[in-house]
Amino acid sequence: MNTLTIDDVDLKGKRVLVRVDFNVPMTGDGTISDDKRIVESLPTIRKILDSGGRPILMSHLGRPKGQPDPEFSLKPVAEYLGILLNVPVNFAGDCIGKTARQMAAEVRPGEVLMLENVRFHVEEEQNEMEFARELASLGDVYVNDAFGSAHRAHASTEGVARLLKPSVAGYLMKKEIDYLSKAVGNPKRPFVTILGGAKISGKIDVIQNLLPKVDVLVIGGGMAFTFFEAQGMEIGDSLVEREKIGVAKEILDMVKSRRLRLILPVDCVIADKLDNDAQRRIVPVSKIPSGWRALDIGPETVKLINLAMRNAKTIVWNGPMGVFEMSNFAAGTMEVARLLSQATKSGAVTIVGGGDSAAAVAQGGFDGSISHVSTGGGAALEFLEGKTLPGLAALDSKP
């Protein structure tokens, strides 16, 4: 990564404005149900504190539609962060204005200031420059550690980076980019990519960007059935994007011309309706009866994926293998998570991106045995598509 990082700047005595990604799931009473994104930000915050800097944190939470909404207040996150850091975390009731400016000026060494949700202002998502200028006035140095928001050109991610210098990457941003860059740019081989999810439309650019680079491409989830439809197979009532059949045919032709190994499901778990308690059975993909739909990959497909992983040196996984949110159709996704953990122990570099894939890894207790689980679903996907991330591109480059 050719971007300046937090290690390249002097932080002592500085007010360090940090864009973190604290968009974490919370229950109705304000309890944080998954703190991964907060925990991943701790090394950057501690680095600032240990260097004599004064962290001023800003983040979004949820979709408050550009106006204050108590449901999306970051105050519970600030309180939780204080417990994790074991240092005082003060909370400003707004991210701009007189109170925010005063609190930012008065934050002392050893303390942290957390600003209220930047999306309480419509100007945040509009990347309005005056709003970005007010945010920038709160700090002396800008650090972007919010990889999960790096694909958004918002005021707190892109606008501030152009106004407040130096603007550098935090440790989480650096880790995310380093892992994804090596996987896509210079992977150890064999390189296996596993893609799932409901629709091919969300993964077209990823497939086209990775096809010249992968050795084995595995496609599962609902998107696989658009490929089967493109081959003229009967797929019952399974999900298919008819407007993407032509694209699926083009991808199949590209795979054939490049002599790549493509693994599509050979069997699947079918149901007579989209319901966790529906009748279900396992059949070959060529034997899906009318009125039934495929909702998960079957055990023979899992075996094929296992064989593909066995000798792999780099594995990237994005997207579930079935309707993962329903427990009776989550087995295929959970098996891929388990196989990924095994591959890591055998020496492969394994990278997981996407909310459902990351959730499966966490649910199975495998998150400690995967090389890297990305904190940014949309950002990771766009990086794999080969797109420029605005929040990263706006940061200062090394000479």
Active site residue 37: yes
Largest CA distance in the chain: 69
Cα-flanking dihedrals φ and ψ of residue 80, to 5°? -65, -40
pLDDT above 90: residue 239: no
**Percentage of the chain surpassing pLDDT 90?**
80
- Sheet of 280-284: strand order equals 280-284, 267-271, 293-297
CA 59 to chain centroid, in Å, comes to 16
Active site residue 82: no
pLDDT score for 50:
97
Active site residue 202: no
pLDDT score for 193:
94
Q: Which of 37, 54, 174, 175 is catalytic?
A: 37
Q: Which of 30, 66, 82, 378 is catalytic?
A: 378
**Percentage of the chain surpassing pLDDT 70?**
100
pLDDT score for 345:
95
Q: What is the pTM of this model?
A: 0.89
pLDDT score for 186:
85
Q: Structure tokens of 150?
A: 């790096």
C-beta of residue 171 within 8 angstroms of C-beta of residue 145 = yes
Please write the tens of the pLDDT for every residue from 168-201. Answer: 999 999 999 999 998 888 899 999 999 999 888 8
Residue bearing tokens 């501690």: 46
C-beta of residue 329 within 8 angstroms of C-beta of residue 271 = yes
**Mean pLDDT score, 315-323:** 94
Domains contained in the chain, CATH given: 6-175 (3.40.50.1260), 187-384 (3.40.50.1260)
Please write the tens of the pLDDT for every residue from 23-58. Answer: 999 887 889 988 999 999 999 999 999 999 999 999
Rounded to 5 degrees, what angle do the CA atoms 325, 367, 34 make? 60
Give the residue among 107, 153, 142, 180 at the shortest CA–CA distance from 6.
142
Q: Which of 199, 213, 310, 313 is catalytic?
A: 199
The stretches of the chain forming alpha helices (DSSP H) are 36-50, 75-85, 98-106, 123-126, 129-136, 160-163, 171-185, 204-210, 224-230, 245-257, 299-310, 331-345, 355-363, 377-384, 390-393
Q: How far apart are CA 225 and CA 178, in angstroms?
A: 33
pLDDT score for 280:
96
pLDDT score for 209:
87
**Mean pLDDT score, 314-334:** 95
Q: How far apart are CA 293 and CA 97, in angstroms?
A: 55
Please write the tens of the pLDDT for every residue from 338-388. Answer: 999 999 999 999 999 877 888 899 999 998 899 999 988 788 888 888 889
List all residues 6 or more positions away from 348 whose beta carbon is below 8 Å from its beta carbon: 309, 312, 313, 314, 315, 371
Active site residue 355: yes
Q: Which of 30, 82, 93, 355 is catalytic?
A: 355
Q: Structure tokens of 296?
A: 């998960």
pLDDT score for 291:
94
